[in-house]
Amino acid sequence: AQSVTQLGSHVSVSEGALVLLRCNYSSSVPPYLFWYVQYPNQGLQLLLKYTSAATLVKGINGFEAEFKKSETSFHLTKPSAHMSDAAEYFCAVSVLGGYQKVTFGIGTKLQVIP
């Protein structure tokens, strides 16, 4: 079985500060890992994904994440928070099996303080 754990259901950062959202995964086989963002009243949007290529993955809006197998982590970072980054962020995992059966974490709400 596969799962993800997101540490911190709510994170607050000041505008311009580093954003760090934590995600640890559990999978019995090499996983595919994703970060999605959900703005209020909108659908989930893919930020970035790891699919066994480069361990440092760059996504949209200046976000990036690093796959660390030894730590079973896939933390999301952004050097400088912007007000528009305020949203809910979901870490997710799937395994290759012909299709994506994605398992999501519970989400982290990011608040950006001006």
Partner 1 sequence: GAGVSQTPSNKVTEKGKYVELRCDPISGHTALYWYRQSLGQGPEFLIYFQGTGAADDSGLPNDRFFAVRPEGSVSTLKIQRTERGDSAVYLCASSPPGAGTDTQYFGPGTRLTVL
Residues binding partner 1 (CB under 8 A)? 9, 32, 36, 41-46, 49, 51, 90, 92, 94, 96-107
Which CB atom, from 53 or from 114, has the smaller least distance to partner 1?
A: 53
Which CB atom, from 68 or from 101, has the smaller least distance to partner 1?
A: 101
Round to whole Å and give the CA distance between 13 and 80: 10
Round to whole Å and give the CA distance between 43 and 61: 17
Minimum distance from CB of 101 to partner 1 (Å)? Answer: 6
Which CB atom, from 43 or from 114, has the smaller least distance to partner 1?
A: 43
Angstrom CA distances, 41 to 38, 44, 45, 73, stand at: 8, 10, 12, 29
